[in-house]
Amino acid sequence: MKKTQTIVSGLVAVTLLASNVAPLKIFAEEKNLSLISSQPSKDINPESIPKLNISNTSTSKADEPIDIWMPDKVVQEVVAKTLGIAVTEITKEKMTEITGDISFQGVGAFSLRGLEYVTNASRIVVAFPNGTISDLSPLSDINVVQLNINNNKVSDVTPLRKLQLQAFWADHNDITELDSVNCDNVNADYNHISDLSNKINSHSIVARYQTITNPPIPKNSTIEIDSVKHAGNYELTDSDVFNISYNGSYTQNSKLNYGEVKWNNLDSSVTSLQYDFDRQYDWQDSMTNQIYFSGTVIQPLEDAPVATGSVQVKYNDEQGNEISPSQTISGNVGEAYDVSSSQYKIDIPGYTFKEIQGNATGNFTDQTQTVTYIYESSTAAPVTVKYEDKNGNEIAPSEELNGKIGDSYLAQAKNISGYALKTTPANAGGRFTDKPQSVTFIYSIDQTKLTTHDSTLYIGDKHYATDNLDSVVDEDGNPVDFKKVKVIGGDLMEHQSMGGDHLDIVETGTFDIQYGYGGKSATAIVIVKDNKTSIEAIDSTIYVGDTWNAKDNFTSASDKEGNSVDFKKITTSGSVDTTKTGSYDITYTNDNVSKTITVNVVENNSITVHYQDEKGNQISPDKVLKGKVGDSYSSDELKISGYTFKEVKGDASGKFTNNAQTVTYIYTKDLVKGAEVTVHYQDENGSEIAPDKILNGNLGSPYSSEQLKIDGYTFKEAQGEISGNFTDKE
């Protein structure tokens, strides 16, 4: 029989652990609303929740202070009281160790943080009315079955989306929707809920005295808005929508759960509209869902915005490039504009007005208009590009760049044999003006040089790009950091794979690699051979007390050329403790090749499993289980034809010890009906002189026939076994 535990609030009695109890049955029996209360729910009786024994749990020293992860003192005190410990003893670890059914109840809390760690409780009751709680996310992933947040500041109930609540009390909050609440029994008076259309399958919802303020809409002499949306099987009639301000009217829509509220001939001074609604369950409705929905809807009105328009005046050259910042003017739609005056038709140095695109005069519209003044460039003074050494000597012929004022120019440096570019002037790029300009590139004698060397590598070696560089100097003869040198060619790069900041050699052959810096280059040759480095070792199992040496598991090793490597040159890591059982990893390393093996140290122990009948006879072969001391073992009950398991003697499961153990499974022989034994009574000629007798019994059980006294006859002999055991043969 299931134990039940009843928790009573201001709305409904909900029974935990008895899933077939209808929480709102009280309403159907009382046929009134006397139990509905907008006041805070009474505390749920904590004595009805089983206490938890967590006295043996340890406090984690690594836990951060409780005020960080459980900041609310009310919640701290409630958790401590519920668990029967001091606040200072509460840790996240203890919260996760809570199992079974638990209740947390208090008044005046501002945060539920900390409860999210009660992840292993099967059913949780949370009741914290009359506070300032606004965040329910700590409850989103724990098994809350009842929740009371009456008189708080909750507006977002989406954290409850995954919960399967039995009851939910949320009077006097700021909730706007219940679609996120999976609960058949809801109390949500004094909120802002306007839509219950998705709650047709809820058993009971009490959502009265809602205050719903719609988003503002523009004023108009005629206003039409949708009414609130009730559950689909609750039709809103004319009598359910009332107190409509300014002589508005309600029209029942073709949809069952809402209609339309309309106002005509409204004065421009009206700033808001409102109406009341009340559609509640009536016993005569015979609804399967009992919903109570009422409140007031307020529709704010705002002045319709005055439409404005703008005109943007742009100043472009013939290529469409902007040559002066644009101007923008604004005005009311329909008003006139004029951008033909000198305020907008401006003089731009280096340019001459050519034409206007767009309407310089017109009226503002609700679309942005564009007027573009087009200018053409005047011919600019030339730009002379010079090429000189650091002493001012010309080392290449100068060049002249020409264009129109305002056009852009870009001077280019030259590659001059024996020289390196030293300085690029700041004015190498710019715009043509009405004044001559000069651009001078400065060069120095180029001393750039790269020195390399050839090398031999093996497959698997790491090759860094700079490995074959010896030295690099710049145009002035100064050493250059190898990081500034680039690999510009060679086929070595095609036969390697990327390995972070290096390349891994993956193919044999003779390859080249080309380096470049400052316009100079150098080549190195790299010979790649097969890498025959190897290391071989094997796993092994030894017993406690055996001796072991690292060489015991070593097999062979070779160097890059394939020559045998003596064990003395092999590096090993790890150790084996032969005094106790365990698995020990040993790593053998030869150059850059490693092999890890496992040495298992075990005890030689066994457990014998017998399968016998009630008389101790073997009915199935024994099984022998072997393992290390301390390891777990588990024996199996076998299905044996003709027998039924009765009992087990010894530990069917447990741990291996230093001593041999025995487990015996006892079976009873199944009772199977044997073939019938027919007893005939005949004379010497085989004629029947008395009716046959049929003997029945279970296979293997004894039978015995009897000699009859038959008038007129004298017994002579019996043919067949007059007694014996029933068999499966007739």
Is the pTM higher than 0.75? The answer reads no
Residues in the chain: 730
Residues of the chain scoring pLDDT < 50? 1-62, 498-500
How many CA atoms within 13 Å lie on the side-chain side of 450? 24
- What are the structure tokens assigned to 58, written together? 């340890």
What Rg do the C-alpha atoms of the chain give, in angstroms? Answer: 49
Burial group, residue 625, by CB count within 10 angstroms (0-12, 13-18, 19+): middle
DSSP state of 240: G
For 120, residues 6+ apart whose C-beta sits below 8 A from its C-beta are 96, 97, 98, 99
For CA atoms 216, 218, 223, 224, the dihedral sign is negative
Give the domains, in start order, of the chain with CATH numbers.
Answer: 38-191 (3.80.10.10), 210-302 (2.60.40.1220), 308-377 (3.10.20.320), 383-445 (3.10.20.320), 449-529 (2.60.40.10), 534-602 (2.60.40.10), 605-669 (3.10.20.320), 677-725 (no CATH)
For 67, residues 6+ apart whose C-beta sits below 8 A from its C-beta are none
Q: Which candidate, 625, 667, 664, places its Cα nearest to that of 648?
A: 664
For 2, residues 6+ apart whose C-beta sits below 8 A from its C-beta are 17, 18
What gap in Å lies between CA 261 and CA 272, rounded to an integer? Answer: 14
State the pLDDT at residue 42: 38
Contact 197, 232 (CB under 8 A): yes
Dihedral of CA atoms 358, 364, 369, 372 in degrees, nearest 10, equals 40
What gap in Å lies between CA 384 and CA 388, rounded to an integer? Answer: 13
Sheet holding 322-332, edge to edge: 322-332, 308-317, 369-377, 351-357
State the pLDDT at residue 63: 59
Contact 304, 333 (CB under 8 A): no
Q: Which candidate, 83, 77, 138, places its Cα nearest to that of 113?
A: 138
What gap in Å lies between CA 555 and CA 541, rounded to an integer? Answer: 16
What gap in Å lies between CA 136 and CA 140, rounded to an integer? Answer: 7
- 3 state DSSP class of 115: helix
Contact 293, 280 (CB under 8 A): yes
Contact 16, 123 (CB under 8 A): yes
State the pLDDT at residue 583: 87
Burial group, residue 173, by CB count within 10 angstroms (0-12, 13-18, 19+): buried
Spell 294-327 as b/e; 16+ CB within 10 A means b.
bbebebebeeeeeeebbbebbbbbeeeeebbeee
Single-letter amino acid code for the residue at 614: E
State the pLDDT at residue 34: 28
State the pLDDT at residue 48: 42
Contact 155, 134 (CB under 8 A): yes
Q: What angle do CA 207, 208, 210 make, to 5 degrees?
A: 95
